[in-house]
Structure 1
Amino acid sequence: MPPPWSCYKLNMNGAGKGNPGRFGVRDAMIDSLGNLFFGFAQALGEYVGLTGARLDGAEMLACGLATHFVPVKRLASLEEALLKVNTTDAAVVSAIIDDFSLRPPLKEKSPYHSLPIIDKCFSKRTVEGILSSLELEALNVNNDLISVAIQSLKKASPTSLKISLRSIREGRLQGVGQCLTREYRMCCHVLRSELSKDFFEGCRAILLDKDKNPKWEPSNLELVSNEMVEQYFSKVDDEEWEDLKFSIRPNMPAFAMAKL
């Protein structure tokens, strides 16, 4: 039987799987996996989501994607301490995690130090606007983040970039249940490859042939229309691809039900 505090979904693993949980414990590098370079959609905020940038534990903590930072060597002791308590009190659980936590400094070249630039460029309405803003910024500012971001955007699947930007922004106004349904539909459409074969082309270029030269279709941002993007957010019209459904368990914590 799981301990009472397990209802809080203490997450010591990937950010994508555990962010809906009450506590997020980080210790090392969080990789956004660069799904856009496989022609797949992604959502971790405009900058991270569109460029495939990495955030380490200190950055996850600073931007609010983690509640605690616990070094790897302390994780086993933390788990042991949590297993000894018999409570569902979030304050008690948090206090235990606090005993093992640190507040690490941000590295010198952390994206967190470039938030004004990120906010200025990645707040643009479209992917084209974001890219243009970065290129304009590059003329006036010598910043590695800008040049790397430009390169990343130009390498990624144009379709996936536009799908991701819309998904990220819609997600800010939706509950977890709505977000999961939206992303599930996106994934279904991508894997069915009826709207685009970019995912399989990305896998070919990166994993199979390893030429790192995918031929995206459409090949540039201007050719990806709003109507094309809209299709990825629709329910799949195929009975073999059922839409996502959620059932509310009687013992589900109130904070979890509120998020759904």
Structure 2
Amino acid sequence: KALAGEYLGLTGTRLDGAEMLVCGLATHFVPSERLSLLEEALCKVDSSDPAIISAVINEYSKQPYMKEKSAYHRLNVIDRCFSRRTVEEIISALERVALNKKDDWISKTIQSLKRASPTSLKISLRSIRQGRLQGVGQCLVREYRIACHVMQGKLSKDLFEGFRAILLDKDRNPKWEPSKLELVSDDMVDSYFSMMDDEDWEDLKLPARSNLPAYAIAKL
């Protein structure tokens, strides 16, 4: 759970094909050189039955190699550290592991967290954990509100500071505000999950999808 949630959400780590399969974010891995063949085969399928379609994809799929440096091999550390209650506790747990175990992966993970916007880290952690208890529809509404607040820039201008540091001045030295995790209060984080105080703003309204099967509607 932590690998696909807290760890990925807070560090922004990219997954390769093998890791996507392990996390359950992908069902098949098809090498790029076989994609055109798969496309031809799927075009010949005269059925919408998921089992039949999956069987066709299976013919062109393979089990990718899991790289030695993959975070998959650090699942015990990830689960132990990223299951902590707060971002501060997550970093402290990683630092304790680093004292007893020399591992470039741990050092890079700690550096990644310390370079990130403190506000963004706390928003992300709460959003990930709320999402575990919500359906897709609730998650989309929550993420929409967060995105609107971030883009508006009234609560924090960290997004624009990140653009400046990475894309404009390219000094890669953003000046986050607040600059430390302990300065980001729960009330500040709460604000990102609330409806915007703007008469021209509308909350996200998802269309009714009565044509979906019952199991899919339940997730919305």
TM-score band w.r.t. shorter chain = over 0.9
Given residue 29 of structure 2, which amino acid in structure 1 is its aligned partner?
F
What does residue 109 of structure 2 align with? 149
**Contact map agreement 1:188 1:241 (CA 8 A) in 2:** no
What does residue 83 of structure 1 align with? 43
TM-score where L is the length of structure 2: 0.95
What does residue 146 of structure 2 align with? 186
What does residue 8 of structure 1 align with? none
What does residue 31 of structure 2 align with? 71
Pick aligned residue for 2:14 from 54, 62, 72: 54
Provide the rounded CA distance (Å) in 1 between the counterparts of 2:210 and 2:188: 40
What does residue 160 of structure 1 align with? 120
Gapped regions of structure 1 (runs ≥ 5): 1-43
Gapped regions of structure 2 (runs ≥ 5): none
156-165 vs 62-71, which moves further: 62-71
**Contact map agreement 2:210 2:217 (CA 8 A) in 1:** no
What does residue 45 of structure 1 align with? 5
What does residue 203 of structure 1 align with? 163
What does residue 65 of structure 2 align with? 105
4+ residue stretches of structure 1 with deviation over 6 A? none
**Residue-pair matches, total:** 217
216-225 vs 249-258, which moves further: 249-258
How large is the RMSD of aligned CA atoms in angstroms? 1.2
Pick aligned residue for 1:240 from 191, 200, 217: 200
Q: Measure how far apart 1:258 and its partner are.
A: 2.3
Q: Deviations over 1:103-145 (max 9, x none)?
A: 1120011100000000011010000000001111100011122
What does residue 41 of structure 1 align with? none
Specify which structure has the higher proportion of helix: 2
What does residue 216 of structure 1 align with? 176
Provide the rounded CA distance (Å) in 2 between the counterparts of 1:120 and 1:249: 40
Pick aligned residue for 1:230 from 190, 197, 200: 190
What does residue 94 of structure 2 align with? 134
Q: Deviations over 1:212-256 (max 9, x none)?
A: 111100000000000000000011122322111111234334443
Alignment of 1:9-24 (within 5 A): none
**Contact map agreement 2:149 2:192 (CA 8 A) in 1:** yes
Q: Measure how far apart 1:86 and its partner are.
A: 2.3
